[in-house]
Amino acid sequence: MDHIDRIPLFRSEAAAFEKAVRRAYDRGDPVPSVPSCPEWTVTDLVRHLGGVHRFVAHVLRERITAPPDTADLTLPEAPDGPDALTDWFARGARELAELLSELGPDTPVWTWSVEQTSGFWLRMQLIELAVHRWDAESATGAPPPSPQASPRTP
């Protein structure tokens, strides 16, 4: 699978995460906890993933090639309230998908890995989204299996 094929998967996982979060919030108060993330609620999960997306977008947008100084990093604050927070997440995911699509897989940027490319970030954020989509789905019951994890027939 190449970079261009991963962008729609990223968008699909982001939409599935958003749907799972909205379903969790529709249950009312208290906000459901996330069984696979001890001491986290769905709100914590959304803030985490939305913040990660904004951090990665910052690295990509600025073409940062050395470890960023997070002490000087100012990211937009996550809003309060389920609808505003979920919309904030969705907006950040869309912006990150657009950036990753524009840059392609070979733009040199800092990562925490030996591989220092924008393609690395797309692969990692696709994994991050799939894992946290599953986490969000588990907050409201048994999550369905991931379509990417299904056995393939030749």
3-state secondary structure of 41: strand
pLDDT at position 143, please?
66
- How confident is the prediction along the chain (154 residues), in pLDDT tens digits per residue? 898 999 999 999 999 999 999 999 998 778 999 999 989 999 999 999 999 999 999 999 999 999 988 776 777 788 889 999 999 999 999 999 999 999 999 999 999 999 999 999 999 999 999 999 999 999 988 666 665 544 444 4
pTM of the model: 0.89
pLDDT at position 153, please?
43
The total number of residues written for the chain in this structure: 154
d(CA 116, CA 133): 26
d(CA 32, CA 131): 17
